[in-house]
Amino acid sequence: MLIDHRTYTVKPGTMQAHLDIYEQYGLATQTKHLGQPLAYMFTESGEMNTIVHIWVYENAADREKRRAAMQADPDWHVYLKKNREAGYLVSQVTKLMTPAKFAKMSR
């Protein structure tokens, strides 16, 4: 199993607008190709203005195949354009992680 843990930081005051753009233009296309995320969360305390989402793949080849299909989808590019035009995103950190053998995850 391969976990894709992503942390995005948005400009202060833009969280809901950023999430609205994703929900309207990105969610359906992303879940069509990647499946449902294990988690999609935003901060209530701590490092504010951050969104974390976690995607689960069988392995690196599965991730590569699904993400390539998403990148080839014109609807995904509509979302990327809307997101870019809004200018809310400040940074992104992506961590590919493997669960420890004693901490099995089910999906």
Whose tokens are 């969280």? That residue is: 15
As a whole number of angstroms, the distance between CA 36 and CA 71 comes to: 17
pLDDT tens digits, 16-72: 999 999 999 999 999 999 999 999 999 999 999 999 999 999 999 999 999 999 999
pLDDT tens digits, 83-102: 999 999 999 999 999 999 89
**What does the domain layout of the chain look like in residue ranges?**
2-97
Give the CA angle between residues 42, 31, 103 to the nearest 5°: 65
Report residue 87 as tokens. 């200018």
The answer to whether domain 2-97 has CATH 3.30.70.100 is yes
Please report which helix (H) or strand (E) contains residue 66, including its range. Answer: helix 60-71
pTM, whole model, 2 decimals? 0.89
